Amino acid sequence: MIMPKAIEIAIIWGNPPMGTSNYTMYKAEIEEAINNYGLRNNQAHLFTYLPPEIIRQWLWDVFAREPHEVIVEQIYY
């Protein structure tokens, strides 16, 4: 399977929504998420490459702040 070069994400913070940020996960960060969350031997998510709940957890761990929702906007191969 071909690894994406980047995944563009919209992050909605807070419940009720308190703001939106845009973030791009690059190849090194995608590989880190795959390794850190035990996805190495699992099939990638059909539409986003990484399951949205894994992206959400990774963002929570990186920013020490819980995102309310993540939206995958674009994947670059």
pLDDT in tens, 41-56: 555 554 557 888 889 9
DSSP state of 45: B
| Of 2, 3, 55, nearest in space to 24 by CA | 55
Residue scoring higher pLDDT (53 or 9): 9
pLDDT of 31 reads: 86
Say which residue the tokens 């399977």 belong to: 1
Reported as a pLDDT band with limits 50, 70 and 90, residue 33 is confident
Q: What residue spans define the domains of the chain?
A: 6-76
Rounded (10°) angle between helices 27-36 and 52-63: 100
pTM, two decimals, is 0.80
